Amino acid sequence: MRRTSAFAVLMALSIASPAMATETDTPLARSPSEMSGAEIDAYNQGRAANDADYIRCRRVEQVGSLVKKLRICNTNAEWRRITDKSNQDARDSMAWIERGFSSSQEPKDQIMPATGRPQ
């Protein structure tokens, strides 16, 4: 009887542990940009503004319109990832430019053939 109750307690804890872990780290059911302002406010309630899971929204002007803006929402962690990726891409581009535009660095299938020149 004692072994059965100990086993039942261990099983209950093993089942409850993943449920508790997902309760704090639950992925969002929808993209933050698809959520309404009220849903975002409810999600952010109780979170600090510098928390990685806190959702922030930005309005971005749409090309070709003087008035229309697009609302983009992401968590702070996602905004940080986007910023870091953009900065790394800029550093990579500058390093490539500093090396020079040598055709030896470009793949052969991307080199334009010389047209109109005798071979």
pLDDT single digits (tens) 47-72: 999 999 999 999 999 999 889 999 99
CB 38 within 8 A of CB 57: no
pLDDT at 54: 95
Length reported for the chain: 119
**The three-state (H, E, C) secondary structure of 13-40, written as one string:** HHHHHHHHHHHHCCCCCCCHHHCCHHHH
Closest CA to 74 of 89, 45, 52, 93: 52
Total-model pTM: 0.58
How confident is the model over 14-38, as pLDDT tens digits? 444 333 333 345 567 889 989 999 9
How confident is the model over 73-99, as pLDDT tens digits? 999 999 999 999 999 999 999 988 888
Listed by start position, the domains of the chain span 31-88
